[in-house]
Amino acid sequence: MAGTINKEVCGYPLSIFFIVVNEFCERFSYYGMRAVLVLYFKYFLRWDDDLATSIYHTFVALCYLTPILGAIVADSWLGKFKTIIYLSIVYAIGQVAMAVSAIHDITDTDRDGTPDNMTFHVVLSMVGLFLIALGTGGIKPCVAAFGGDQFSDHQDRQRRTFFSVFYLCINGGSLLSTIITPILRAQDCGIHSQQKCYSLAFGVPAALMLVALVVFIVGSGMYYKAEPQGNIMLDVCKCIGFAIKNRYRHRSNQYPKRQHWMDWAEEKYDKLLIAQIKMVLKVLFLYIPLPMFWTLFDQKGSRWTLQATTMNGYFGSLVIQPDQMQTVNPILILTLVPIMDSVIYPLINKCGLNFTPLKRMTVGMLLAAIAFVCAALVQIEIDVSRKQLLYLFISSSHFYFFFLNLIFRKHCPPSHQHPRTDDITSKPQEGNNAIRFVNGMKTAVNVSIPAANFGLIEPFSYSNYSLIKNGKVTFTLWSGSQSCEYSTDFGFGSSYTFFIPSTLVFGPNCQESITAAEDIKPNSVHMALQIPQYFFITAGEVMFSVTGLEFSYSQAPSNMKAVLQAGWLFTVAIGNFIVLIVAELAKLPKQWAEYVLFASLLVAVCFIFSIMAYFYTYIDPAEIEAQFKKNVNEDDEDNKHKLQKTEVEMNKRDSIKCHDEDDKDKQTKM
Ligand SMILES: N[C@@H](CC(=O)O)C(=O)NCC(=O)O
């Protein structure tokens, strides 16, 4: 670690403090922006659900594909330090572009609260997202590896702890931002008209990214900055290509076999480079089954959140929204990482078990599979409760229509006798409640709540269904100048029809005359039932992901550490594609069956991985590289000696030759 100010605090290099704070702010920025992104697409850019979802997933996939680019730039050209600085600037510009794209006033020329030039907002936000994907993905493999670089060879234990703390910072940032940015988004802001404040929800992550950059620069004088080693990726590709070609050229039996197919590159390439490529290939081979873990893990943001929308989110007086259940993951990470590091792993060690990184990762995969079995059980519970509710609904709705027909025949002129048949038959989406009103009065009634207007309901007629959120809602009914307020509490996913009787007397006690029929009962399965599945997936994540991050670092040759980190992140991108492929191909009618399918696939993959892991031999790349360098030096010394010896012999021979020639000359002269 030459050329560093090697200050240490409690055995740790001081420089890593700046790196973990940088990571905290960067992850706050990333997860905070991501938390409100789909809603921004849907409500600000006015895209439909499908478009919003596909652009969202494309963005996430891009964030995990760009690490390859960042790693190549860092390892072969700029070095990790400069790559982090430059790409962080690109990242911050992207976040600022997002914040600006969400200011509706910029194009709201008629000042009605909606942007008038949507193309401007769409283009700016797409440019912003592209820059963010480039920035966040590009620096991702560099920051972790750069942190690892700060430790000396004898600080193995501290480096392991660093990776755990690093993971804690990621989740601390993610947890805080996932709580804060939705709150910011829900505020109203604007110059000419007040709208939901997406610009603030993107602006704060942009500010945090700038803080991340500044903190990283402040630590500049303390970092150990390994020099980039030239275009290593190109060398690696050329070397592999040559080995394959050379092997093919010498395929006949007359040529002696070599220990490893990469050894066929020996004719042209340095032995050290070949050894390093072998190390990387061994780890990359182990990575093949890993995307399946991410396939399951990343569904907590999609399938599991959708599952939560069909559940009851009342936790005492606290109401948890379906998308807020995702915060259980970072909360559990913050609890589990220290417990694992300070209690579970040491305990396992004390029992004499060698819980190697690859064993931990295998257990992590199994835990993720268990999480999906839990998710399947919860799904079955939801389906059963829904069946019961549907039965209740069908029977109550028959009774209810019989009753309505009686009223209408008695009171309505013939033109109004057409009870609507487009009644709701399935649970409203996203935990909303579907509400409608039946006006049994002879005069028209207007019904409204702050968030929706049911419109003017003609005498003896129905309003359409309106979707409203859970919690207490106060309806205001107007008929001419008379009004009536009706308050009630809603849970999640229910449907109600409210009857305004012909005898309604407007005034303070009007509430008692209005009756409600429960068409669909609110969700009865509690969201707390998702906690076990979150627990298992998070415990799996700690064993799999935290360990994998450290494993990738420790098994990589010195000049290819960021490349291996990028390879690790690439498994996340592949995992996300597998979700789409499996879900599309399997098309299982029951959600619980899909969960079981994913769990079974992971168990199968885990079995294969455990066999591969069994045959893996852990290496110390630094030691191997040092050995190679020593051998080369010894070879050089040998060569030097040989050269000197040859030179001496040649000189001797030359001088003898000279003497001979002199003698000959003398003889001829004589
Ligand atoms: N547990 C996740 C964070 C989250 O989903 O909130 C995590 O640690 N991801 C790793 C990362 O690098 O972002």
The residue whose CA has the least distance to atom 10 of ligand 1 is 170
Do residues 73 and 207 share a domain?
yes
Do residues 10 and 128 share a domain?
yes
Would you say residue 651 has pLDDT above 70? no
CATH number of the domain to which 52 belongs: 1.20.1250.20
The CA 283 to ligand 1 mean position distance, Å, reads: 22
Q: Which two tokens stand for residue 151?
A: 């430790």
pLDDT in tens, 200-230: 999 999 999 999 999 999 999 999 998 887 7
Mutation choice for ligand 1 from 20, 27, 60, 63, CB with most ligand atoms inside 8 A: 27
Would you say residue 93 has pLDDT above 90? yes
pLDDT in tens, 403-415: 554 554 444 443 3
Work out the average pLDDT over 236-240: 91
pLDDT, residue 412, reads 42
Kindly give the number of the ligand 1 atom that is closest to the alpha carbon of 538.
Answer: 1
- Residue 663: other Cβ atoms inside 10 A: 10
Do residues 91 and 159 share a domain?
yes
Among 107, 267, 132, 123, smallest CA distance to 192 is for 107
Ligand 1 binding pocket includes 32 (Cβ within 6 Å):
no
Confirm whether 386 is domain-assigned: no
Quickly state the pLDDT bin for 637 (edges 50, 70, 90): low
CATH number of the domain to which 472 belongs: 2.60.40
pLDDT, residue 124, reads 97
Rounded distance, CA 14 to CA 499, Å? 69
Do residues 193 and 174 share a domain?
yes
The CA 470 to ligand 1 mean position distance, Å, reads: 29
Kindly give the number of the ligand 1 atom that is closest to the alpha carbon of 327.
Answer: 6
pLDDT, residue 331, reads 94
Higher pLDDT, 439 or 667: 439
Confirm whether 403 is domain-assigned: no
Would you say residue 130 has pLDDT above 60? yes
Higher pLDDT, 413 or 652: 652
32 CB burial (10 A radius; 0-12, 13-18, 19+): buried
Mutation choice for ligand 1 from 168, 174, 336, CB with most ligand atoms inside 8 A: 174
Angle at Cα 53 formed by Cα 52 and Cα 56, nearest 5°?
A: 85
Do residues 197 and 166 share a domain?
yes
Confirm whether 398 is domain-assigned: no
The CA 170 to ligand 1 mean position distance, Å, reads: 6
Would you say residue 234 has pLDDT above 60? yes
pLDDT, residue 415, reads 38
pLDDT, residue 255, reads 87
The CA 180 to ligand 1 mean position distance, Å, reads: 17
Number of domains in the chain: 3
The CA 50 to ligand 1 mean position distance, Å, reads: 25
Q: Write the DSSP string, 577-630.
A: HHHHHHHHHH--SSHHHHHHHHHHHHHHHHHHHHHHHHT-----HHHHHHHHHH
pLDDT in tens, 373-397: 999 999 999 988 876 655 555 555 5
pLDDT, residue 35, reads 81
The CA 329 to ligand 1 mean position distance, Å, reads: 8
Kindly give the number of the ligand 1 atom that is closest to the alpha carbon of 140.
Answer: 12
Quickly state the pLDDT bin for 3 (edges 50, 70, 90): very low
Query: DSSP state, 191?
Result: S
Ligand 1 binding pocket includes 215 (Cβ within 6 Å):
no
> Could you give the 3-state DSSP secondary structure of residue 189?
strand
Mutation choice for ligand 1 from 20, 34, 171, CB with most ligand atoms inside 8 A: 171
Do residues 538 and 611 share a domain?
yes
pLDDT, residue 185, reads 85
pLDDT, residue 249, reads 92
Do residues 208 and 245 share a domain?
no
Ligand 1 binding pocket includes 330 (Cβ within 6 Å):
yes
Higher pLDDT, 242 or 453: 242
Confirm whether 345 is domain-assigned: yes
| CB-based contact 102:234 (threshold 8 Å) | no
Ligand 1 binding pocket includes 461 (Cβ within 6 Å):
no
250 forms beta bridges with none
Ligand 1 binding pocket includes 333 (Cβ within 6 Å):
yes
Would you say residue 159 has pLDDT above 50? yes
Rounded distance, CA 497 to CA 488, Å? 13
> Could you give the 3-state DSSP secondary structure of residue 103?
coil
The residue whose CA has the least distance to atom 3 of ligand 1 is 171
pLDDT, residue 533, reads 97
The whole-chain average pLDDT of the chain stands at 84
Quickly state the pLDDT bin for 656 (edges 50, 70, 90): low
pLDDT, residue 20, reads 95
Helix pair 561-586, 49-65: axis angle to 10 deg:
150
pLDDT, residue 181, reads 87
pLDDT in tens, 416-472: 433 343 567 777 766 788 899 998 888 899 888 876 677 889 888 888 888 888 888
601, 619, 637 - which closes a domain: 619
Do residues 37 and 156 share a domain?
yes
The CA 18 to ligand 1 mean position distance, Å, reads: 20
Confirm whether 470 is domain-assigned: yes
Would you say residue 657 has pLDDT above 60? no
The CA 30 to ligand 1 mean position distance, Å, reads: 10
The CA 356 to ligand 1 mean position distance, Å, reads: 23
Higher pLDDT, 42 or 657: 42
Confirm whether 28 is domain-assigned: yes
Residue type, 304: W
pLDDT in tens, 309-352: 788 888 887 877 777 788 899 999 989 988 998 999 999 999 98
Ligand 1 binding pocket includes 171 (Cβ within 6 Å):
yes
Do residues 487 and 448 share a domain?
yes
Do residues 454 and 585 share a domain?
no
Rounded distance, CA 451 to CA 45, Å? 20
Distances (CA, A) of 122 to 35, 40, 148, 263, 616: 18, 11, 39, 53, 49
Among 328, 375, 373, 371, smallest CA distance to 525 is for 375
500 phi/psi in degrees, rounded to 5: -100, 110
The CA 541 to ligand 1 mean position distance, Å, reads: 9
Rounded distance, CA 374 to CA 385, Å? 17
Structural domain of 10: 1-230
Rounded distance, CA 585 to CA 581, Å? 6
459, 485, 520 - which closes a domain: 520
Among 254, 133, 113, smallest CA distance to 193 is for 113
Ligand 1 binding pocket includes 28 (Cβ within 6 Å):
no
Exposure string (b/e) for 151-171, b if CB count within 10 Å is 16 or more? Answer: beeebeebbbbbbbbbbbbbb
Rounded distance, CA 621 to CA 557, Å? 5
Would you say residue 293 has pLDDT above 90? yes
- What residue has token string 């066999």? 611
Confirm whether 624 is domain-assigned: no
pLDDT, residue 66, reads 92
The residue whose CA has the least distance to atom 11 of ligand 1 is 170
Rounded distance, CA 640 to CA 512, Å? 105
Kindly give the number of the ligand 1 atom that is closest to the alpha carbon of 174.
Answer: 6
| CB-based contact 83:73 (threshold 8 Å) | yes
The CA 167 to ligand 1 mean position distance, Å, reads: 8
pLDDT, residue 239, reads 94
660 CB burial (10 A radius; 0-12, 13-18, 19+): exposed
Kindly give the number of the ligand 1 atom that is closest to the alpha carbon of 27.
Answer: 13
Would you say residue 4 has pLDDT above 90? no
**ipTM > 0.90?**
yes
The residue whose CA has the least distance to atom 2 of ligand 1 is 171
Do residues 297 and 170 share a domain?
no
588 phi/psi in degrees, rounded to 5: -75, 140
520, 540, 557 - which closes a domain: 520
Residue type, 19: I
The CA 534 to ligand 1 mean position distance, Å, reads: 13
pLDDT, residue 318, reads 81
pTM over cut 0.80:
no
Confirm whether 387 is domain-assigned: no
Q: Which two tokens stand for residue 152?
A: 């000396």
The CA 84 to ligand 1 mean position distance, Å, reads: 19
> Could you give the 3-state DSSP secondary structure of residue 196?
strand
The residue whose CA has the least distance to atom 12 of ligand 1 is 170
Question: What is the four-CA torsion angle of 600, 605, 610, 616, rounded to 10 degrees?
Answer: -170
Ligand 1 binding pocket includes 174 (Cβ within 6 Å):
yes
Quickly state the pLDDT bin for 135 (edges 50, 70, 90): very high
Do residues 187 and 238 share a domain?
no
Tell me, letter by letter, the H, E, C secondary structure of 466-527: EEECCEEEEEEEEECCEEEEEEEEECCCCEEEEEECCCCCCCCCHHHHCEEEEEECCCCCEH
Max mean pLDDT range (8-17, 89-98, 264-273, 549-558): 89-98
